[in-house]
Structure formats: C-alpha cells, structure tokens
Structure 1
Amino acid sequence: MRPSSCAPLIANSGHLPLRAPVPLELLGRATVPGLLRLAATQWAWICLCWVVMAWVPAVAPLLALLIAGRLHALGVVLHDAIHLPWRHSGPGLRLLALLAGYPVATTLEAMRYHHLRHHRDAGLPSDPYRRPPASPWRQLAVWLRVCPILPFWVLRGPLGLLAWLLPSLRNPYARLFLQDRSGQDLTHHPEVLGCARAESGQVLFHLVVLAAALRWPSAVGLGYGLPFLLTSGLCAWRLLAEHTPSTVQGRTLRDVLACTSDHGLGWVGRLLTAPLHVGCHVVHHLHPQVSLHHLPRLRDWYRLRYPDLYPLPRRP
C-alpha cells in the first residue's frame, strides 16, 4: 500500500472485496488550519498544567505525566500532517513544525522520510519500524531500548546540520536517524539533504530550551524536561503496541491486518498512550490520509462489515 492512496489494499483471498465501499464521509482528510487548531488546543492544556504546577507544586509529578500525554498528542498532530499531499512546506506547515514537531524533537521532513516508508513496506524487511518476533521479556527489552528515542532525536539535529555541510556524514545520518534501510548511497539524495537542512529549526528550538533551562532549571526541568522523557517512553510503548511481529510477504489487505494492531482505545490511551485516536492503527494503515478525527467511525465501519477478519486490540 502506498501512503498516497486513500483506498484499501487489494485482498489476497475471496473473503474481502477488491475495494471496500467505504462511505466518502468517513474518508475526510486533515487540513493545515485544522491541525494548527488542534496543536493550539494541546498547548492550551500544557499551559494550564504549568499554571497549576506553579500554584500547587505538590501535584507537579502528576501534571508532568499529563503534559507528557499532550506532548505525545503534538507528535500525533505532526504525524497527521506528514500524510498531507505536500511537496514544499509553506508558512502553515512551518508553524505546525514549530508547535508540534520541535517540542518532541522531530521535523516534518524527518518524520515524513521514515514514516511514509514504514507505510509503504509495513511488516516487510525494509520496514523502518520492523521488529522481529520475540518473547514478552524480549519485548520489554526492546521497549527499554527504544525508550530514549526522543533524547536520541535531539542529537539528530546537530548531526544533520553537519551532514548537510559534510557529505561523508550523510549516509550515517540517514541510516541512524532517518532509519533508512535501502542500502543505497544517499550522499546526494535530495530528500536526505532536505531532512538535514530542516534540522536547523530543531537545533535553534533546543538551544532556546537550553538557555531557558540554564536560567530557570527547576521550572524547565519539571515543566518540560521530565514530561519530555515520559513522552519518549509513551512513544516507545505505542510503537510496540501498534505493530505486531508477524512476518508478511506483500502489501495486501490481509498483510496489513496481520502486521498492525489497534490499541489504547480506553481513557488511558486517550490521555497518554494513544491520544487523538492514533490507536485506531489498522484503519490508519488502510487509509493513511484520512484525518484522525474520522478514524473511530471508520474503524467501526470495518468492524461491522468484517467482524471475523478485523483484529482485536492487542493492548488496552
């Protein structure tokens, strides 16, 4: 399945139609203004938590967890943006990168690079997010290894700028931080160069955060540093929850149902592990350009029509 398609994949058995007749009202796409409003809403909640932190320091640890959930939601907003059919980012997308990308240590370009390749090759050896089958203890070990993903991405910015200037660093930058698995020489790859050039905004953002932390260490540490680390753990949890270790052979509808999972559909998911309906992951892979607002109803539509084939959530 290619991420530019809003139609389901072709099935590999007679149990599923060639193209499911999904009503058009369930296939609405996101818009930049709508995503900006959604990002502003998350920031309003974050600011409210900061105010309560200042007035009632005793509840600061709990509020740090709630802020982590809203930072996680900002990443989901940016995730919706990279599925929009854009080639060059205009002012709206630049503002969205500032509001929803830099706070979780990513850029539109970097997320677009690895995430769209994940959609194209989900479950295949070339999938950037591919995880081999493992026991529950191995899964825990994988989660612990992935937990520092956001602090690791902070390092991506400086290395990306160096890679923009030094061609010898572009392949390591793409393999390590963009999760490229093509095996090709990417020294002059225009998309890699675009990702490296875009790191300037993230580096500038984190320099501002560093300056603020030096000036107000306690406030920045508790209000942003701790939530940032918690968000990293939540993102690692989601990555493992929404993809199964199943090995697939192609890009059919049955393959998508085998290698993706819904999760976090309860109140804990809404607050922390799967905000803004991102836990409706199966239908997201079937219709990657559908807005996150439409995913619950789209999921209900598929579950009603294909109850024996649509997978149950792997985790609450």
Structure 2
Amino acid sequence: MSSSLPRRAAVPRELLVPATPSGLLRLAAMEWAGMALGWAGMAWAPPVLVPLAVLVVAGRLHALGVLLHDAVHLPSRRREWRLCLLEAVAGYPVASTLAAMRYHHLRHHRDAGLPADPYRKPPDGGRLRTAWRWLLLMGVIPGWVLRGPVGLMAWALPSLRTAYGRVFLQDRSGRVLTRDAEVKACARAEAGQVLFHLGVLVLAVRWPSAVLWGYGVPLMLASGFNAHRLLAEHTSAPAQGRKLEDVFACTRDHGLGWWGWLGLAPRHVGLHVVHHLHPQVSLTHLPRLRAWYLKRFPHHYPRPRSY
C-alpha cells in the first residue's frame, strides 16, 4: 500500500498555503462579530430563540479555539504583537494559551496513534463507552480554566511542574519536569488567561445572568463540541510509525456538512486527514488540498465519518 501512496513533496506548491497571523486575526474578528450577533439575539430576540443564540455563541467560541490551533502550526515561535493579540482574543476565551496548546498538540502530530500520543484514542467499546468518553472530554475546557492558577503556582514552585505537565499539558514522556524549560514557559504563560477569567468573574458578580448565558453556558457547549471533535477525528487503529499509511489509519474527516459549519467542526477543522498530512497549511485552504488527494488517490484516502 505504501508504495502507491503519494509523497508529500508531490503536492502542488500552490495548494500548500500557510496561515498568517494577520489572516488569523481577521478570521477571529469575524468570529467575534458572530458572537456579537448571538449576544444581540439573547438580548432582543423572543425567548424561544435564545437557545439558538446560545448555540451560535458556542459555535463561535469553538471556532476561536480552532484558530488558536492553526496558530500553533505557524513556523515562527517569535512573540510578535499579532500573535499576542490572537492569543488574547482566540485563546483566553477558551481558556488556552499558545504555549500550552503547542505543548500537547504538536506532540500529538509528531506521535499520532503511537503510545506517546497525548490524544491517542482507546479501542472502541460501543455507544455507552463512547458517551462516557464524551462526558469526560467535556471537562477539558473547564479543566483548562483550572490549569491557569495551577500553572502559576507551578511557575513559582518547581516541585509542582511535573504534576502540572502530566495532568494539564498531557505530557506522556514519563520524565521529571521540574527543570523543564518548556513546562516552565507554559506555566508562566498562564498569567494572561488567569487575568482574563478573573475579569469574567468580576463581570459575573455584577451581571450574573448575562455572563451565565452569554459565556458560561456557551463555553460548556463549546467544550461539548470539542469533545465530539476529538472523538470523531481520530480512530483507535494503532500506528506503526509516522508514514502516510499511519496517518490514513488513525485519522478521519468529519463535520463536512452544515452541522460542522455551525459548531462541530468550524473553519474546516474537520478535514483532519489532510491537516495531519500538511499541518502548516491554513485551515481555509484544506478543502482544495483534500480535493486534490481525493481525485488522485480515491482508494487510499479514508472515508469521512458519517453522522
């Protein structure tokens, strides 16, 4: 099988368009505009439409996390102002930082389907077990909120860094992380998202109902969308290495319809197979790249997950 698979270098260069900080900021502005529409709906639409407005805000919050995920794959690690702004407007609302997401997500790409993969999916066990896993994964974003203060404590107290790295950064190395520079940097970077959520807490004391329905409930729904995405875009097939056939075995596309657009897989993040093949290609350019693979290798490219 592997002998007939394409080499990554064989893909036309015009299809391998990377993301840019400016482009991601423009998309983030669009998502904030979508949330503003949802908040306007909560304020002025008939009560029967409030659940739809909450769903819109949740989907846009999920999309902000997707944009931060795209920024993780940018080749530059320099803390330029556009990336700092993107982290603030796309990361903090979903309780994440660029440093933390880089830590676990880039390791997932490096070791997808292997024992060291932080997102490695256990064997399927029927609908009840899948539902249980979804409920557990729903706690990811609320757990990230808690990660902030724990990270700041780990920054000050090196003895906490191993636990912080293993629990909140999904480290699977088995190493003692007390003196790990990357873990220390992740812990230090939590300050921004802690300040953001302290601000949310202050607003919640003043306007509890507005913050609950405008942010708290949509954030939990976004966490549910994220949990569904993690279960949908990976398979339990073990990888044997890091070749193309391993990517085809342990990843799959999903959310290709309007449910994906609304919230389950916004900004083409559901095109997960080609994303793993070419992680630095912008999410906005994945549809053309996927079409190229489907046309030339229809018998190798995995079938998408159906709903």
User: Which of residues 17, 27, 45 in structure 2 aligns to 1:38?
Assistant: 27
Q: Deviation of residue 61 (structure 1)?
A: 1.5
Q: Is the 8 A contact 1:248 1:259 kept in 2?
A: yes
Aligned to 1:115: 105
User: Which of residues 34, 51, 55 in structure 2 aligns to 1:61?
Assistant: 51
Give the letter aligned to residue 151 of structure 2: G
User: Which of residues 65, 71, 84 in structure 1 aligns to 2:74?
Assistant: 84
User: Which of residues 165, 178, 183 in structure 2 aligns to 1:174?
Assistant: 165
**In the aligned structure 2, how far is the partner of 1:209 from the partner of 1:17?**
49
Q: Deviation of residue 134 (structure 1)?
A: 2.0
Unmatched segments (≥5 aa) in structure 2: none
Aligned to 1:220: 211
User: Which of residues 142, 145, 151 in structure 1 aligns to 2:142?
Assistant: 151
TM-score (norm 1): 0.95
Trace 1:227-266 onto structure 2 (pairs within 5 A).
227-266=218-257
| Residues 181-190 or 134-143, more deviating | 134-143
User: Which of residues 264, 288, 293 in structure 1 aligns to 2:284?
Assistant: 293
Aligned to 2:117: 127
Q: Deviation of residue 57 (structure 1)?
A: 4.7
Q: Is the 8 A contact 2:87 2:98 kept in 1?
A: yes
- Superposed CA deviations along residues 266-310 of structure 1, whole A, max 9, x for unmatched, are 000011100000000000000000001110110010011000010
- Superposed CA deviations along residues 132-152 of structure 1, whole A, max 9, x for unmatched, are 112222122111111111111
**In the aligned structure 2, how far is the partner of 1:13 from the partner of 1:206?**
48
Give the letter aligned to residue 288 of structure 1: P
Report the CA distance shift for 1:260/1:251 in structure 2 as closer, same or farther (over 3 A): same
Aligned to 1:4: none
CA RMSD of superposed structures (Å): 1.0
**In the aligned structure 2, how far is the partner of 1:254 from the partner of 1:43?**
38
Q: Is the 8 A contact 1:102 1:205 kept in 2?
A: yes
Q: Deviation of residue 14 (structure 1)?
A: 1.7
| Higher share of residues assigned helix | 2
Aligned to 2:12: 23
Q: Deviation of residue 208 (structure 1)?
A: 0.2
**In the aligned structure 2, how far is the partner of 1:160 from the partner of 1:57?**
42
Identity of aligned residues (%): 64
**In the aligned structure 1, how far is the partner of 2:132 from the partner of 2:223?**
15
TM-score (norm 2): 0.97
**In the aligned structure 1, how far is the partner of 2:201 from the partner of 2:143?**
16
**Number of residue equivalences:** 305
